[in-house]
Structure 1
Amino acid sequence: MRVKQLSPLEKRRIFLVLFAIILLFIGIVGKLFWIQIAATESYSSHNINLLRNSVVQRQKALVLDSGRGEILDRYLKPLTGKMIKSLIVFPINSKTQVDPQQVNQLVSILQTTKERWLDFSSHLKEPQVWSTAQDGKVAALSAAQESQIRMLNLPNVKVAEMEDRYPTGMTARQLIGFIGQNPDRVMSIYGADLEKGKLAITSKIGGAGLEKTFDLWLRGVGKTSISYFTDAGKRPLAGLDARMIAPDNSFFPVKLVTTLDGGIQQQIEALMDKMQIRDGAVVVQDAVQGDIVAMASRPNYEPTQVDLASNSWSNYALKATAPGSIFKTVVAAAALDEGVVNPKETFNCEGALGKYGFTCWLRGGHGPLTLEQGFAQSCNIVFAKVMQRLTAAKLESYAHKLGVLNEVGWTGKTDTKQILHQLDAEESGQLFGSHTPHDDEGVLMQTAIGQRDVMLTPLQASNMIVTLLHGGKGYSPRVVKEIRYQTDRVMETFSPKVLESEDGRVSAATSRTLLNWMKEVVTEGTGQGLKDAKWQLAGKSGTAQIQNGKQEKVNQWFIGYGPVASPQYAVSVVVKNLNPSESNKSIPLFKGIMNILASGSSDR
């Protein structure tokens, strides 16, 4: 048989094909070598750790500590919970032998039932923490329980220290806020960290309160987790028992040191709950420089199960609402400083003005009253007649001077030159609505008694008292005074700040006069329910009519200071959305808070 001879061109083509096959084979072998031997810990431009990922496939991990910074009160006591001993339960293969007697002992130690334990442990797909039956919270183990469980040496359980960030009974919840997932915010604020792999799109960040405003510091440098290694059959791997994985950094997480007194905060919230305050807020400020000592809001909420639609997580101490007669303080300040009223002059109150349907709260009228007496009795007619001598522009100027139209919370530059607003979602006050005619006489009279469009926050109200106590000089309230490293070395300090207004200040003489008039509110006026308080007190009451849907409701206010002889605290309280027929709750609440302050914190 004659064999066909290949042409030189065909020989060349065959050679090139064989050469390409050999190169491809060498490439595949080289790639496998690179993946399996040379680049197991840094594969591709993304530095993927293949060795670690191969282990992760059979590694079950549970986060014990988010690595998030602590929030402390002024005495360095934790406000965001603490580390507790907890029981970690791992999923294991059903064929793994567990001594039934040991299970019975564990059930007894945990003070539960065998049915509940088996129901919990036999269906696990990931490591889980043993929780209480009542509220599903992590069950904190005692030292005795920890010791007894360790002695059992069960293959699927381990005692470990775990963060209980939002514990049962936690106070100042609306001020502290919560953390949660917010992919849009993660991308907009932490895009650089996202690209570097320091943060995931699903990472939890501050969603409200201090958790949000100080998120940049509180985020920390990494979580602490416990990992348990199993084979494909969920059997524990020898030599790879449960291991703790934690960042090696002695400076983090940081400590956020607030100006709050945790003991006072707790007592005030307990008082609000005892008095069944459904909707309202309390602010307590240090009279020396306006620091926030306590800030409480109702209704309360659960930080681990936030219903964003309910608004119960909102801090009503920072939300503007109708103030009623406490706003008469601003009108009185304008009248005194502008000299439009003679101190001895009287205004006659017959219960109604005779136009605009404007009436006094006292139907029969107060008779002849000076401005001083009208302030003590909270007479609407007196303030309507005084407002006839003022302009809208003048009233607005004094509202600015007393800080009730502005965000007053501490704002400034940090050491990194960033603008920081310590208080999350603080609202501004309001004098007139956007379409309200400012110079209409009827509008001005309603405005003078804190009705119509007037809105201010409980923080602005208490801070107005601080401003008067300082002769017209206002402070910007702090709630965080410093940030510390874990070693207690100070990272950042937030010094007290004076509030500046383009409209200037209320005079010291007028400030003293108003403070004296506030004494008369208690001794002779609408605040006589405070006469038997532990301290001698002074202040101003207010009731604002509001419309809640189709129902008419009222806001009850009281703002003031104590003790009169040497003021230590400025306090504002508002009880919102009450039926007009309900008894006054603001004065008893104010009195109870002042009695707590007079006794001092019991948790120092």
Structure 2
Amino acid sequence: MPISENVDQSRKFTRRLVLLMGVKGLALAGLTARMYQLQVRDSERYTTLAEENRINTRLLLPLRGRIFDRHGRPVAVDVEDYRVVMVAEKTGNVQQALDRLAGIVELSPEQRERVLREVRRRRRFLPVTIASGLTWEEVARMEVNAPDLPGVLTERGYTRVYPYGEEVAHLVGYVGPVTEREQKEDPDRLLKIPEFRIGKQGVERTYDRRLRGRGGTQRVEINASGRVQRELGRKEGTPGDAIHMTIDMALQQKALALIRPHRAGSVVVMDIHTGDVLVMASTPGYDPNLFIHGLRAKTWRALQTNPLGPLLNKAVSGQYAPGSTFKMPVALAGLESGAIDTGTHFDCPGVFQLGRAKFHCWKKGGHGPVAMRDAIKQSCDVYFYELALRLGIDRIAETARRLGIGVPTGIDLPAEKQGVMPTKAWKRGYFRDKRNKAWFPGETAIAGIGQGYVLATPLQLAVMAARLANGGYAVAPRLVADRPPGNRTAYRRAQDGFRRLGFDAANLGRIGEAMAAVTNETGGTAFWTRIAETGMEMAGKTGTSQVRRITAAERARGIVKNEDLPWHRRDHALFVAHAPLDDPRFACSVIVEHGGGGSRVAAPIAREILLETQKRYGSLAERAGLDLDFAHRAGGRGIPGGIR
């Protein structure tokens, strides 16, 4: 090979070597620069990331806020309990473990299904709660059988408990597991914790945010697979706020004892000046404690299909024709408009003819000539047919709505119904068929005695009674107070906290006199159920809400008495009242479903509960002394707790 070719090849090799070395040098320089960036310039950032991979911060459940009645009695609390948890990674065959466990603690099919679902969804080393609220006997059996149950552990935790059970179910409600929808709608990180519970009904739901509290934190060291190695630090959460209700549990229990024998109904008692609700009883009820550990499908179906509606808070969600308790708004509308005065008489022959239609009075022979006072006292239907037609439905509705009929009260409970106070415009909008849109005079007449389309809740009727008694102020009911009310009632007059409704005080006084005659004068429809104790007398109005149509043929044969009818065809019994007569403080409404006559069934319940209320809270002059005595018996604690 010529020397010149060797020289060329040598030069090529040298160039390639230099090029290769240059590339390697550049790569080394880039690597060096990158290492400098990672180890020096970005050292702090990556150290933090590495630390976060090794150190995990977890949320700790806070204690839920407690709920008390007005005297400091706890109606919803968190109590320490024992629960069974399973770590699937250590258990092996989950199905077999559940079979063995079922012989020690009671497990429903729904619980087994939930556990299997949670095991599939979570990492196998994370614990899944199987059952909570274990008794001491179950805990003991668990400990004895622990060697045969690998991966199944007994832990201490907290469970929501309702000491008064169904007596407060419709008010306090209950808590339950968080659904996927609720997680999407609420950004609170606490909802991501499987054991976390939120309010589902009642005050638990309305004040859920305040009751939740703020979660604590736990710093733990974990390995590459996410398993906890050790705890590095812990900061406990902040418990939720305490909620103080206006309810008096002793009166609540008294009201329930009075109404339970009648199968279904409601009692409401409220302070006419402050709006504090002292009693809100609805029966039948349910035990909210059943929902804590998971309700069985059979139990849930039984509650849902019960025709008496135990899940329904009848005080705010039950809608009833108010019957003759509606005669006060009609009479007030007549006085306010000038359509009548106290001397205006209508003749009651026992039946009112309107065209070819006949509208009957409850008294077959009629009341004869009657004025407003006696028409309310004796509950004359013909008088109010006549008056309603003079006024027209829209004028009646305007007064009734100002008194709270057909208008939401704004009570701090979910699922409140609005009721119905019909007008001509309401009917045009309610019915689709043009033939049903017209308003007829007969519909006005029947509305005059609280029948037809008119519907009200027991709470609305109590509000109506309160506004009539407090001088015409728009008092609004409430269940939760800023601080424990204790024995304080009427501690603020209605005119200091609520707007005036614009009624003439003299006209309100005339309505009050007529209501007083109902219960305290011979011939009044509730005279035999009056409060005889001096200084505690009540004024009221009976009502009977008809649930069936009485045909002409039945009238000719003789109307079948309520007690001779099947229960579901009997009239509803109603009564509204306020007490005492001198300087009223409390209003009450009672509805007994299919109870028959208001004077015979509902009025005695109102008498007993209003009498007990006045005895417990004394007169306005005595109130300050009661407060001092109560504080002494409670030991001077910030939250009254002396009464049980």
- TM-score, normalised with respect to structure 1: 0.70
Deviation at 1:456, TM superposition (A): 1.9
Deviation at 1:217, TM superposition (A): 1.8
Q: Which amino acid aligns with 1:457?
A: T
| Alignment match, 1:105 | none
Q: Which amino acid aligns with 1:511?
A: L
Contact preservation (8 Å) 1:90, 1:128:
yes
Whether 1:424 aligns to 2:414 is yes
| Alignment match, 2:209 | 216
| Alignment match, 2:427 | 435
| Alignment match, 2:447 | 447
Contact preservation (8 Å) 1:521, 1:538:
yes
**1:63-108: per-residue Cα shift (whole Å, max 9, x none)?**
9x6532222222222221x343433445589999xxxxxxxxxxxx
| Alignment match, 1:389 | 390
**CA 1:224–1:309 in structure 2 vs 1: closer, same or farther (change >3 Å)?**
farther
Deviation at 1:527, TM superposition (A): 1.7
Q: Which amino acid aligns with 2:588?
A: V
**1:398-447: per-residue Cα shift (whole Å, max 9, x none)?**
1133232322336xxxxxxxxxxx34333334221632568632111011
Contact preservation (8 Å) 2:274, 2:475:
yes
Residues of 2 paired with 1:432 and 1:510: CA distance?
24
Task: Please give the residue correspondences for 1:135-174 in structure 2 after superposition, counting only pairs within 5 Å.
Answer: 138=133, 160=156, 162-167=158-163, 169-174=165-170
Residues of 2 paired with 1:500 and 1:463: CA distance?
14
Contact preservation (8 Å) 1:74, 1:261:
yes
| Alignment match, 1:600 | 616
Whether 1:545 aligns to 2:546 is yes
| Alignment match, 1:297 | 282
Task: Please give the residue correspondences for 1:126-137 in structure 2 after superposition, counting only pairs within 5 Å.
Answer: 126=127
| Alignment match, 1:554 | 571
| Alignment match, 1:177 | 173
**1:336-371: per-residue Cα shift (whole Å, max 9, x none)?**
233333434432222221232311222333333222
Contact preservation (8 Å) 1:86, 1:141:
no
Contact preservation (8 Å) 1:187, 1:201:
no
Deviation at 1:52, TM superposition (A): 3.2
Q: Secondary structure at 1:321's aligned position in 2?
A: coil
Contact preservation (8 Å) 2:538, 2:577:
yes
**CA 1:480–1:585 in structure 2 vs 1: closer, same or farther (change >3 Å)?**
same
**CA 1:545–1:15 in structure 2 vs 1: closer, same or farther (change >3 Å)?**
farther
Query: RMSD between aligned alpha carbons?
Result: 5.2
Q: Which amino acid aligns with 2:363?
A: L
Contact preservation (8 Å) 1:432, 1:453:
yes
Whether 1:281 aligns to 2:285 is no
Deviation at 1:116, TM superposition (A): 3.4
Contact preservation (8 Å) 1:85, 1:141:
no
**1:365-403: per-residue Cα shift (whole Å, max 9, x none)?**
333322222212212111111223213332122113323
Task: Report percent identity of matched pairs.
Answer: 26
Contact preservation (8 Å) 2:62, 2:237:
no
Q: Which amino acid aligns with 2:389?
A: Q
**1:111-154: per-residue Cα shift (whole Å, max 9, x none)?**
xx99635999xx998575876xxxxxx35769xx999x99xx99
Deviation at 1:557, TM superposition (A): 1.2
Contact preservation (8 Å) 2:543, 2:575:
yes
| Alignment match, 1:589 | 605
Deviation at 1:596, TM superposition (A): 3.3
| Alignment match, 2:466 | 466
Contact preservation (8 Å) 1:543, 1:555:
yes
**CA 1:162–1:569 in structure 2 vs 1: closer, same or farther (change >3 Å)?**
same
| Alignment match, 1:101 | none
Residues of 2 paired with 1:483 and 1:16: CA distance?
76
**CA 1:268–1:35 in structure 2 vs 1: closer, same or farther (change >3 Å)?**
farther
**CA 1:118–1:575 in structure 2 vs 1: closer, same or farther (change >3 Å)?**
closer
Residues of 1 paired with 2:577 and 2:279: CA distance?
15
Task: Please give the residue correspondences for 1:399-414 in structure 2 after superposition, counting only pairs within 5 Å.
Answer: 399-409=400-410
Contact preservation (8 Å) 1:87, 1:157:
no
| Alignment match, 1:379 | 380
Residues of 2 paired with 1:448 and 1:34: CA distance?
81
**1:248-268: per-residue Cα shift (whole Å, max 9, x none)?**
44xx42112222212222332
Whether 1:247 aligns to 2:257 is no
Contact preservation (8 Å) 2:272, 2:467:
no
Q: Which amino acid aligns with 2:399?
A: Y
Deviation at 1:591, TM superposition (A): 3.0
Contact preservation (8 Å) 1:79, 1:170:
no
Task: Please give the residue correspondences for 1:236-275 in structure 2 after superposition, counting only pairs within 5 Å.
Answer: 247-249=236-238, 252-275=239-262
Residues of 2 paired with 1:291 and 1:69: CA distance?
21
Q: Secondary structure at 2:543's aligned position in 1?
A: strand
| Alignment match, 1:110 | none
**CA 1:599–1:169 in structure 2 vs 1: closer, same or farther (change >3 Å)?**
farther
Q: Secondary structure at 2:324's aligned position in 1?
A: helix
Deviation at 1:271, TM superposition (A): 3.1
**CA 1:381–1:583 in structure 2 vs 1: closer, same or farther (change >3 Å)?**
closer
Residues of 2 paired with 1:390 and 1:269: CA distance?
39
Task: Please give the residue correspondences for 1:339-354 in structure 2 after superposition, counting only pairs within 5 Å.
Answer: 339-354=338-353
Q: Which amino acid aligns with 1:318?
A: V
Contact preservation (8 Å) 2:86, 2:130:
no
Q: Secondary structure at 1:572's aligned position in 2?
A: strand
| Alignment match, 1:572 | 589
Residues of 2 paired with 1:518 and 1:178: CA distance?
39
| Alignment match, 1:490 | none
Deviation at 1:558, TM superposition (A): 0.7
Residues of 2 paired with 1:158 and 1:527: CA distance?
61
Q: Which amino acid aligns with 2:55?
A: L
Residues of 2 paired with 1:283 and 1:92: CA distance?
50
**1:480-515: per-residue Cα shift (whole Å, max 9, x none)?**
22179xxxxxxxxx99874447xx422211222212
Deviation at 1:459, TM superposition (A): 1.7
Residues of 1 paired with 2:478 and 2:542: CA distance?
26
Q: Which amino acid aligns with 1:218?
A: L
Task: Please give the residue correspondences for 1:509-524 in structure 2 after superposition, counting only pairs within 5 Å.
Answer: 509-523=506-520, 524=523
**Gaps (5+ residues) in structure 2?**
1-8, 92-100, 109-114, 120-126, 429-436, 485-491, 550-567, 618-641
Contact preservation (8 Å) 1:281, 1:573:
yes
| Alignment match, 2:111 | none
**1:139-183: per-residue Cα shift (whole Å, max 9, x none)?**
5769xx999x99xx9998778463433346253322223334354
| Alignment match, 2:81 | 86
Residues of 2 paired with 1:401 and 1:85: CA distance?
49
Q: Which amino acid aligns with 1:536?
A: E
**CA 1:248–1:257 in structure 2 vs 1: closer, same or farther (change >3 Å)?**
same
Q: Which has the higher helix share?
A: 2
Contact preservation (8 Å) 2:273, 2:475:
no
Deviation at 1:35, TM superposition (A): 12
Deviation at 1:450, TM superposition (A): 0.8
Residues of 1 paired with 2:598 and 2:578: CA distance?
25
Contact preservation (8 Å) 1:68, 1:253:
yes
Contact preservation (8 Å) 1:392, 1:438:
no
Alignment length (residue pairs): 526
| Alignment match, 1:108 | none
Task: Please give the residue correspondences for 1:318-329 in structure 2 after superposition, counting only pairs within 5 Å.
Answer: 318-319=316-317, 320-329=319-328
Q: Which amino acid aligns with 2:460?
A: Q
**Gaps (5+ residues) in structure 1?**
43-48, 97-112, 132-137, 411-421, 485-493
Deviation at 1:22, TM superposition (A): 10
Q: Which has the larger radius of gyration?
A: 2
**CA 1:499–1:385 in structure 2 vs 1: closer, same or farther (change >3 Å)?**
same
Residues of 1 paired with 2:478 and 2:441: CA distance?
39
- TM-score, normalised with respect to structure 2: 0.66
Structure 2 counterpart of 1:315, from 300, 306, 313: 313
**CA 1:141–1:292 in structure 2 vs 1: closer, same or farther (change >3 Å)?**
farther
Q: Which amino acid aligns with 2:334?
A: A
**CA 1:85–1:213 in structure 2 vs 1: closer, same or farther (change >3 Å)?**
closer
Deviation at 1:552, TM superposition (A): 5.1
